[in-house]
Structure 1
């Protein structure tokens, strides 16, 4: 049964779409809202105005950008105490002046809708990634998380294994 499954069978179709010129603060707000309503790792699909897939912005990358701004401002260097005013100022300056394009990931693992499950797993292992974007003709059709693949394998293995009483 597992060898019959394709990327499209497991992909999440309800995508969070972001635009490259969208400000980072707006994108972070959308990612946080997404985290509350969807299980898994919140990830936004970045598309241009024509719907062409450009990359992704995950909560992980957004947090790295924010952490980088705090580190660059030197807020933690001088003492154990945090200068809250400097921290807030640095974050406002960073988040207000950056766009999704500044922090999106463009070397995303892409798979075609018809890619078989074993091939998807191999590509995850080769790329050390935890999600892939299902694309066709330059457009994002779905998001496939490694957790979804593992859950599918686990469910199949548990249903095929005889129970010894």
Structure 2
């Protein structure tokens, strides 16, 4: 079964503000995908304002460090492939300027996508993944651990 995810890095203030209200962020992206014309342009600007550019070089370095020992790992330009032949799982990560796109396939296992998520969550504290098709979304790293609720917002 193919799974598709889009990943964005949110500004920390936005991540803090929307902690516990992640569905609102998901609906913004869903609305953006369905919108046309001026409304789509406006939503694109809103998304660009609340997200950060992808640190491609850092991610490339961390992915290569993490997977260089994997036989089924290949990097080609801005695409990273991980094929866990023996475990029946594979995934492809594509790095763009403002987002990452992860596609994974595996009937028995989600291990390949999980391995990508593990590396990414160590790189940036506010990575947010969403799957519009499956109506799934969430932080790669629980926000509660990063921003204790007792912390003053100053």
- The TM tier, using the shorter chain, reads under 0.3
Which one has a larger percent strand, Structure 1 or Structure 2?
Answer: 2
Which one has a larger percent helix, Structure 1 or Structure 2?
Answer: 1
Larger radius of gyration: 1
TM-score (norm 2): 0.27
TM-score (norm 1): 0.26
